[in-house]
Every structure is written in structure tokens, then in C-alpha cells.
């Protein structure tokens, strides 16, 4: 099982609320993640206990330069950011090195897998299948 891990617990709430639907990783990670691949999304530091957040499916994997990141790419990674400069600063904090606009990044978009989704009838008539 492939794991998509996030180090910072600040992402836990964003992930659980569906506000974070992508991750931007420094370097070309296209060999590691594939479209339609199921992954376990976790939060925690290496060599420490990690929290299972949910299972997800990889929707897309795009390799591009930092300068090619769209405001939408950035927002899906971190709903608080819109600008490339904010993303660069954030990546520098995570990776502990300088990051420039020519650096390669991988944008991995994902969707949560809901394990017990309501049936179509329940969705059409509201929770519990109540009818008007």
C-alpha cells in the first residue's frame, strides 16, 4: 500500500474537511504516484506514530516548474495560499533549502474514498431516505 504522508498536523483539519485536495512535492515524483492509484493518507513525522486520515485515489500527477504553478494548483495544496511566492516560502520551510521558480515540482491531486457512501436513493431523498 502506497502512503501519501503529510508532516504537519496543520493539514489534518484541511484534509478532513476536504479543503486540501492536492499536494505539491519538490522534484519529479511521477515514478512514485500514478493516476487511479489508491493511497493511504497519513499525518506524522518519519520514525514516529502516524495518524490514518483516509484512503484516497490519485486523480492526476503533473510535473512542472514552480513558475508554472497556477493559483488553483497552489490553493488545492494549501487553501490559505494563492501566490507562487507563498508556495516557494512554504516549500523552503518543508525541505530546508532554497527553492526557485525553475525548480521542478509534482502536483498530486487526490480524492477521498468514502467507505460507506449513502446509497443513491438516500442522496436523492435526503439522509435516511426521508421523503417529502
Give the cell for residue 32.
512514485
pTM, entire model = 0.84
Domain ranges within the chain, ordered by starting residue:
2-115
Q: Which residues pair with 104 in a beta bridge?
A: 65
Cell 490519485 sits on residue: 58
- The residue behind cell 526557485 is 100
pLDDT of residue 132: 47
Q: Does domain 2-115 have CATH number 3.10.400.10?
A: yes
Label residue 12 by pLDDT band (50, 70, 90). Answer: confident
Condensed to tens digits (0 to 9), the pLDDT of residues 74-128 reads 999 998 898 999 999 999 998 999 999 999 999 999 999 987 766 655 666 666 5
Amino acid at each position: 500500500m502506497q502512503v501519501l504522508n503529510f508532516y504537519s498536523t496543520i493539514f489534518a483539519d484541511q484534509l478532513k474537511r476536504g479543503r486540501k485536495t492536492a499536494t505539491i512535492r519538490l522534484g519529479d515524483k511521477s515514478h512514485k504516484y500514478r493516476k487511479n492509484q489508491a493511497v493511504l493518507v497519513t499525518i506524522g513525522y518519519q520514525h514516529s506514530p502516524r495518524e490514518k486520515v483516509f484512503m484516497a485515489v490519485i486523480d492526476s500527477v503533473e510535473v512542472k516548474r514552480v513558475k508554472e504553478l497556477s493559483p488553483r494548483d497552489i490553493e488545492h495544496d494549501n487553501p490559505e495560499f494563492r501566490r507562487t511566492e507563498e508556495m516557494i516560502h512554504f516549500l523552503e520551510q518543508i525541505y530546508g533549502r532554497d527553492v526557485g521558480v525553475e525548480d521542478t515540482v509534482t502536483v498530486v491531486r487526490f480524492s477521498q474514498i468514502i467507505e460507506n457512501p449513502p446509497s443513491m436513493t438516500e442522496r436523492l431523498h435526503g439522509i435516511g431516505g426521508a421523503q417529502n
